[in-house]
């Protein structure tokens, strides 16, 4: 049985980007979980990516997998990309290398060292001019794009661009209230539909050409898609690609919680 995997960072400029990255001097430990290390990307770095997704920051599942957007948000975006015809030719990076802890100060967000490093990733991915569509997830990612577009290199690249509602905004904004969640989901899916309609015609080289099928007012079968095995490092077990919930931050107090990630193999995997 074949298990395709992501070989990771094998060529420049990614070798340098992944060995020389901003640390706590740029990402303060009071605003980011720098103690878990940076997590860089998911997807194709070999020049084959045609769509670029800019996310926000990694969480605990990403910390274990060492790839971004591998949880529920990732599955939702995977479905969105499929609606544009992309099944493999994508790359994801985040606004922030480290998981946000609390909130990010404006001065941190605008720190040139933070922005410049991220722009080097954007240039690495966009400089080849093969990316046809860029999608930003949430406001922080939209800000990252704006900062990039303010540079000469950013001005020189002109893919179609859509800033959309972050894929787990409905959950984070509804505080466990089911009615609010349903409303926020509807609102988000309409926002995503508008983005799909705006960028669909810019897709020139889809992996699987597909007529544009918009979302309904709630999640439907097939809207969330599994993350392909080829996006994960070699040897990771299948349950790490299943629904998230297998990694949690546990502890009696804030510090204990911050120092902890607890992994639990999905029920039924071990007999």
Contact positions vs its own copies (CB under 8 A): 1-5, 7-10, 15, 18-21, 23, 29, 34-40, 64, 66, 233-237, 239-240, 255, 258-265, 269-271
**Neighbouring C-alpha atoms within 13 Å toward the C-beta of 28:** 12
| Minimum CB–partner distance for residue 260 and its own copies (Å) | 6
Task: CB nearer to its own copies: give 108 or 139.
Answer: 108
| Minimum CB–partner distance for residue 258 and its own copies (Å) | 5
Nearest Cα to 267, choosing from 250, 243, 249, 251?
A: 243
| Minimum CB–partner distance for residue 172 and its own copies (Å) | 24
Task: CB nearer to its own copies: give 180 or 257.
Answer: 257
The position carrying tokens 């309409």 is 190
The position carrying tokens 């490092």 is 233
- Cα 196 off chain centre by: 18
CB 84 within 8 A of CB 53: no
Distance CA 226, CA 215 (A): 17
The position carrying tokens 């911050």 is 258
Task: CB nearer to its own copies: give 205 or 257.
Answer: 257
Q: What is the DSSP string of 183-233?
A: HHHHHHHHHHHHHHHHHGGG--S-SS--------SS--TTSS-PPPGGGSP
| Minimum CB–partner distance for residue 40 and its own copies (Å) | 6
| Minimum CB–partner distance for residue 94 and its own copies (Å) | 12
Distance CA 75, CA 182 (A): 18
Nearest Cα to 260, choosing from 271, 247, 251, 269?
A: 251
| Minimum CB–partner distance for residue 248 and its own copies (Å) | 10
How many other β-carbons are positioned within 10 Å of the β-carbon of residue 17? Answer: 18
CB 54 within 8 A of CB 95: yes
Task: CB nearer to its own copies: give 67 or 200.
Answer: 67
């Amino acid at each position: 049985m074949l298990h395709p995997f992501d070989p990771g960072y094998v060529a420049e400029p990614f070798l340098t980007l992944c060995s020389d990255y901003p640390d706590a001097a740029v990402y303060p430990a009071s605003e980011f979980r720098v103690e878990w290390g940076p997590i860089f990307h998911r997807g194709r770095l070999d020049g084959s990516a045609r769509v670029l997704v800019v996310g926000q920051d990694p969480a605990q599942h990403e910390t274990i997998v060492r790839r971004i957007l591998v949880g529920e948000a990732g599955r939702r975006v995977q479905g969105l990309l499929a609606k544009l015809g992309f099944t493999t030719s994508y790359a994801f990076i985040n606004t922030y290398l480290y998981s946000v802890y609390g909130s990010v100060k404006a001065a941190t967000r605008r720190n040139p060292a933070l922005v410049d490093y991220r722009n080097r990733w954007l240039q690495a991915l966009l400089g080849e001019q093969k990316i046809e569509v860029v999608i930003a997830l949430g406001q922080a990612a939209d800000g990252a794009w704006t900062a990039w577009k303010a540079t000469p290199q950013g001005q020189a690249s002109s893919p179609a661009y859509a800033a959309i509602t972050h894929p787990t905004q409905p959950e984070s904004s509804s505080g466990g209230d089911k009615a609010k969640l349903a409303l926020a989901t509807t609102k988000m899916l309409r926002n995503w539909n508008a983005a799909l309609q705006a960028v669909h015609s810019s897709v020139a080289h889809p992996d699987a050409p597909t007529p544009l099928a918009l979302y309904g007012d709630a999640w439907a079968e097939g809207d969330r898609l599994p993350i392909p095995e080829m996006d994960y490092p070699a040897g990771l077990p299948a349950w790490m690609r299943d629904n998230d919930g297998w990694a949690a931050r546990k502890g009696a107090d804030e510090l204990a919680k911050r120092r902890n990630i607890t992994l639990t193999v999905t029920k039924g995997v071990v007999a």
